[in-house]
DNA sequence: GCCGTTTTCGGCCCGACTGTTTTCAGTCG
């Protein structure tokens, strides 16, 4: 039984208990559903290894829910769940996915009209039967039909790489609206989560009506969920829901905090407030009627006895405890990188020359760039063999002589063969400044085989960096089955650097793996994997992933000047190569 | 049903908007 299946049962139990108006229990089950979904390792595996005690270690899981999870793992079903389901035997997952349809309404729809699934619901709505139910009306019926339409064309979550530019554009537009003093992006986009479910924007204005009117009237808006004085919510034509809140200036910090989340982080802060005899909401921190903070986020955290917690850390993964202990990491800044260590050019599958890539990187403020074209194992890209690499090295030497205050490093994205050997000979690798190694084929090997393959590759004394270690492409390709802990240990042992590929579809290593690497003391490189000059601007996505993984400047090797960077690669002898120039 | 530097009982985050009702329940974030 997979984590997703266990989570689905937990979530259904929560909905079914909600139907009967049961207090508190639904939240307990819901919380567990979220926790299990977020788990990397299969719960069944955890149970197999550590028994029911290990299952109870999962946050939010107590004795009762642990027993239910174990029953599910061992028998594949859960009598408690089935008993509850008998009362309202409907397709809960899809009905509750409809906007505005919650447990209570689903129950009424089943009891009054025997509606069991989305098809039944659509038929009843089209026949005008729903408006006749108590507490339903014509508008509810229309809303349900619209919700069914959205569900059918639902695109789900949007990758950050698409959502962030879109929300930034809307923010810029809002800044031009009359009466607007401040605009700030919030929500999971501000936390730089790799995919986002909706967009959240905060506005300070003395003319809320004008802001809301402008917002719901934007050309991309296909539906207005709600429009009020302080909060409006719309759906855009690409499926993304966006909320705007207009707040008073003195509440800006509290609202930014509230609106940024995550939810559990907010709940924890409110608990802290209560412990101190205070109340926290999106308008501020209050002692009785008296506001004691709210203008800035810093001031909100301060009255709760905490230092400022950067948005990327607000995922309820220990950041509050770390803040209380004064142990928050000093996260790498968005302008801390001096070089980009993975770029492709027209020598293989890139669309710009070495010279163009270097010029753009220099324009963006970088001090060095590694040219890492593909190697021969990746035939479809025209990957380099040893001779072509030597040619390219000579070309780079020539270009470097013309450059001032900028260095082009000689590198390659060397293909890892199925058996873990590399497709370029050691003699040639030794001549390169930076050797990245990467998996590009045989994605479906077993965990054991794949791990053995990658370990063999990074044990090569010339392999400096493991590029995009898990090979995932967000929403398109699953990661390869890799024992990431073993890879991190091997990287530590061999001095191999792990990459955070900043290309927004990849973000590989992902945040939680970054955190494991950082905890193990493994160094990281943040690179764009640029295939044209535009892609060189992607570094900030990688920095965001690194920040979400609690990485500091010291953890990231390309924050160093070029000589220091080269000296810290495997062997360190490569500094001699660079200094001969 | 979970959880604990106010611990093994008694709490459990907080508010906006909507639709259908005359004061509020349901849903959402």
pLDDT tens track for A98-108: 878 889 999 99
Q: Is the pLDDT of residue A510 over 70?
A: yes
A433 CB contact with strand B at below 7 Å:
no
pLDDT per residue over A327-350, tens digit each? 999 999 999 999 999 999 989 888
| Whole-structure pTM value | 0.81
Q: Which range (A127-136, A308-317, A517-526) has the least confidence?
A: A127-136
Give the pLDDT score at A577. 45
Task: Tokens for A553, please give them.
Answer: 């400047």
Residue A281 Cβ under 7 A from any strand B atom: yes
A263 strand B contact, CB < 7 Å: yes
Task: Judge if the beta carbon of A503 is closer than 7 A to nucleic acid strand B.
Answer: no
Is strand B within 7 Å of residue A264 (CB)? no
Stated in angstroms, how far is A322 CA from B8 C1'? 27
d(CA A242, C1' B29) / Å: 12
Q: Which of A369, A430, A419 is nearest to A399 (CA)?
A: A369
What CA–CA distance (Å, rounded) separates A227 from A187? 19
Protein residue at shortest CA distance from C1' of B13: A267
Residues A526, A542 contacting (CB under 8 angstroms): yes
Nucleic strand B within 7 A of Cβ A71: no
Give dist(CA A388, CA A363) in Å, integer: 28
Model pLDDT for residues A379-435, shown as the tens digit of each residue? 667 789 999 999 999 999 999 999 989 999 999 999 999 999 999 999 999 999 999
Q: What pLDDT does A214 receive?
A: 94
Whether the predicted pLDDT of A7 surpasses 80: yes
- Interval A438-445 mean pLDDT: 88
Q: What is the pLDDT of residue A172?
A: 95
| pLDDT score for A34 | 83
Q: What is the pLDDT of residue A155?
A: 61
Residues 14-33 of A with CB under 7 A from strand B: 18, 21, 23-25, 27-29, 32
Least confident of A115-119, A291-295, A443-447, A562-566: A443-447
At residue A274, the pLDDT reads 87
The answer to whether strand B lies under 7 Å from the CB of residue A405 is no
Mean pLDDT of A487-506: 96
Q: What's the pLDDT band for A579 if we cut at 50, 70, 90?
A: very low
Amino acid A264 CA to nucleotide B13 C1' distance, rounded Å: 10
- Is the confidence at residue A574, as pLDDT, over 60? no
Nearest of A379, A415, A376 to residue A392 by alpha carbon: A376
Pairing relationship of beta strands A158-159 and A279-281 according to DSSP bridges:
unpaired
CA distance A530 to A539: 10
Which is it for strands A279-281 and A284-287: parallel, antiparallel or unpaired?
antiparallel
Which of the 8 DSSP states describes residue A442? Answer: -
The whole-number pLDDT of residue A576 equals 43
Tens digits of residue pLDDT in A142-175: 888 888 887 776 666 888 998 999 999 999 999 9
Question: Rounded distance, CA A513 to CA A488, Å?
Answer: 9
Return the pLDDT at A460.
95
d(CA A502, CA A531): 12
pLDDT digits (tens, 9 = 90+) for A192-225: 999 998 899 999 999 999 999 999 999 999 888 8
Q: Give the domains, in start order, of chain A with CATH numbers.
A: 3-152 (1.10.150.110), 158-246 (3.30.460.10), 251-324 (3.30.210.10), 339-579 (3.20.20.140)
Q: What is the pLDDT of residue A154?
A: 62
* Predicted confidence band of residue A513 (pLDDT cuts 50, 70, 90): very high
Q: Would you say residue A581 has pLDDT above 50?
A: no
pLDDT at A158: 86
List the structure tokens of A567.
């000296």
**Per-residue pLDDT at A153:** 67
At A353, the pLDDT band (50, 70, 90 cuts) reads: very high
How far is the C-alpha of A558 from the C-alpha of A104, rounded, in Å? Answer: 54
Instruction: Return the closest-CA partner of residue A569 out of A460, A426, A464.
Output: A464
What CA–CA distances, in Å, run from A80 to A11, A13, A116, A519? Answer: 13, 9, 20, 41
Alpha-carbon distance of A334 to A539, in angstroms, equals: 9
Q: Would you say the C-beta of A136 is within 7 Å of strand B?
A: yes
Distance, CA of A71 to CA of A81 (rounded, Å):
11
**Mean pLDDT, rounded, of chain A:** 90
- Protein CB footprint (7 Å) on chain B nucleotides: 1-3, 6, 11-21, 25-29
Share of chain A above pLDDT 70, in %: 97
Taking Cα atoms as reference points, which of A251, A210, A265, A254 lies closest to residue A232?
Answer: A210
């Amino acid at each position: 039984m997979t984590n997703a299946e266990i989570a689905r049962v937990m979530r259904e139990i929560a909905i079914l208990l909600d139907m009967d108006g049961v207090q508190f229990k639904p939240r307990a089950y819901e919380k567990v559903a979220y926790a299990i979904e977020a788990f990397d390792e299969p719960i069944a595996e955890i149970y197999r290894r550590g028994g029911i005690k290990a299952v109870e270690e999962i946050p939010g899981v107590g004795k009762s829910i642990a027993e239910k999870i174990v029953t599910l793992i061992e028998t594949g079903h859960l009598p408690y769940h089935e008993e509850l389901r008998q009362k309202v035997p409907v397709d809960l997952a899809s009905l509750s996915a409809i906007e505005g349809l919650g447990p209570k309404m689903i129950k009424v729809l089943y009891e009054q009209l025997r509606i069991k699934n989305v098809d039944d619901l659509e038929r009843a709505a089209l026949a005008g039967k729903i408006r006749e139910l108590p507490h339903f009306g014509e508008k509810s019926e229309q809303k349900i039909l619209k919700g069914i339409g959205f569900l059918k064309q639902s695109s789900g979550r949007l990758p950050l790489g698409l959502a962030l530019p879109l929300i930034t554009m809307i923010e810029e537009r809002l800044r031009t609206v009359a009466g607007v003093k401040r605009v700030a992006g919030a929500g999971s986009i501000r936390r730089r989560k790799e995919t986002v479910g909706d967009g959240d924007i905060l506005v300070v204005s003395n003319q809320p009506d004008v802001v809301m009117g402008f917002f719901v009237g934007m050309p991309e808006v296909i539906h207005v969920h709600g429009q009020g004085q302080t909060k409006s919510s719309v759906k855009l034509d690409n499926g993304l829901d966006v909320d705007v809140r207009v707040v008073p200036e003195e509440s800006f910090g509290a609202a930014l905090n509230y609106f940024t989340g995550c939810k559990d982080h907010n709940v924890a802060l409110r608990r802290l407030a209560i412990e101190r005899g205070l109340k926290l909401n999106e308008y501020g921190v209050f002692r009785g009627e008296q506001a004691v903070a709210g203008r800035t986020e810093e001031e909100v955290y301060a009255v709760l006895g905490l230092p400022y917690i950067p948005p990327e850390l607000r995922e309820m993964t220990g950041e509050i405890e770390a803040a209380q202990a004064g142990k928050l990491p000093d996260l790498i800044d968005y302008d801390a990188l001096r070089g980009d260590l993975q770029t492709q050019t027209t020598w293989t599958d890139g669309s710009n020359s070495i010279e163009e890539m270097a010029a753009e990187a220099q324009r963006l403020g970088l001090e060095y760039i590694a040219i890492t074209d593909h190697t021969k194992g990746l035939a479809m890209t025209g990957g380099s063999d040893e001779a072509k690499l030597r040619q390219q090295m000579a070309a780079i030497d020539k270009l470097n002589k013309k450059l001032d205050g900028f260095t082009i490093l000689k590198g390659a994205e060397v293909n890892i063969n199925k058996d873990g050997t590399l497709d370029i000979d050691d003699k040639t690798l030794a001549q390169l400044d930076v050797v990245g190694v990467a998996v590009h084929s045989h994605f479906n090997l077993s965990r054991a085989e794949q791990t053995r393959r990658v370990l063999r590759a990074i044990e090569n004394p010339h392999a400096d960096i493991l590029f995009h270690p898990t090979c995932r492409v967000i929403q398109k390709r699953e990661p390869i089955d890799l024992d990431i802990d073993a890879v991190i240990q091997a990287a530590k042992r061999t001095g191999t650097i792990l990459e955070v590929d900043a290309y927004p579809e990849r973000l590989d290593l992902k945040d939680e793996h970054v955190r494991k690497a950082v905890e193990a003391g493994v160094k990281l490189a943040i690179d764009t994997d640029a295939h044209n000059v535009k892609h060189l601007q992607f570094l900030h996505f990688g920095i965001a992933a690194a920040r979400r993984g609690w990485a500091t400047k010291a953890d990231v090797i390309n924050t160093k000047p070029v000589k220091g960077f080269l000296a810290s690669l495997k062997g360190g002898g490569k500094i001699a190569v660079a200094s001969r120039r």
